Structure 1
């Protein structure tokens, strides 16, 4: 199987993926290499406000200041994802406390004071846990047809309508994937 660059791309759960952890999820891949894959589910908000777990960061999480469930792994840990207002010029360096994932998206060091990054970022979200795959595991799932790999659109990582994200991402694809956006929650009831 040919190595596919997945960092910065979206994994969209196919209707065949019945694991409740990933049913109708959209995962932003944060890191993909020979050691495995790490990502966060972008369409699973929790009922927990950011102010309850990271009060200093809650203002930056507006307008949807809820913690998102990033995946089933390490639910007691938090990841911060931020979009920069402008992409740094090559060689200009990255803002302190922000590490590029892809383009203008990056991970935030949640141990720094948020004021250090506030002026630099246009969007911010906190994830409890993450989605992780060991070396070769995601490639096997892709070969089995569990995921569609698509390019992200601006705003996917910070959608204000997470309940519609799975359908919206599929709808903007071409051909058969766009048609799958109408796939019923329970095909037996159709």
Structure 2
């Protein structure tokens, strides 16, 4: 059975999602099909400067220049997302996911991509779901599926992204942005 692809969409954790790996997260789906889904949490910066791990890339990384916790899977591996500067040109070492967004080969020499990329962010780990798993989590009320805006993966205020994404919705969903971190303290 064919699955409608959610690639390029945001998964926004509902207040019901209490898994500490995903509480109040915003996940950008990089790939989604009948075989499962893969995404990165885009609102969890770490305190680790990119320069301390991938020194050659630090001059190209967008603010804040730190690694982001991309998810609980393969946290010892890095994945980089970047926009191309010119949508008509695909630089060597960059693979298009959708639109202007793609994955960067961090094994490539950074100089190869200099000038060809716009914003770039590096993630430690990723979020992954097996076949049907994400669809079940959505059906059970764990995630809102919302449209991504081009600035979302590169926001300068990642800590506020969960609330901002919810607030910009044109429905009662915008009220969820005011949901307290701990409802028992309300």
Q: TM-score, normalised by structure 1?
A: 0.94
Paired residue for 2:109? 113
Paired residue for 1:18? 18
How far apart are the structure 2 equivalents of 1:151 and 1:175? 13
Q: How does 1:13-52 map to 2 (within 5 A)?
A: 13-52=13-52
Paired residue for 2:131? 135
Q: CA deviation at 1:72?
A: 0.3
Paired residue for 2:78? 78
Paired residue for 2:142? 146
Give a deviation string over 1:69-116, Cα, whole Å, max 9, x none.
Answer: 00000000000100112312xxxx622111111111100000111111
Q: CA deviation at 1:2?
A: 7.5
Q: Is the 8 A contact 2:3 2:34 kept in 1?
A: no
Unaligned runs of 5+ in 1: none
Helix, strand or coil at the partner of 1:60 = coil
Give a deviation string over 1:142-181, Cα, whole Å, max 9, x none.
Answer: 1101000111112100111011000000110111211111
- Tell me if 1:99 matches 2:95: yes
Question: Number of aligned pairs?
Answer: 186
Q: TM-score, normalised by structure 2?
A: 0.96
How far apart are the structure 2 equivalents of 1:131 and 1:102? 18
Helix, strand or coil at the partner of 1:142 = helix
- Alpha-carbon RMSD: 1.3
How far apart are the structure 1 equivalents of 2:17 and 2:2? 23
Q: Is the 8 A contact 2:2 2:34 kept in 1?
A: no
- Tell me if 1:170 matches 2:175: no
Unaligned runs of 5+ in 2: none
How far apart are the structure 2 equivalents of 1:63 and 1:41? 16
Paired residue for 2:61? 61
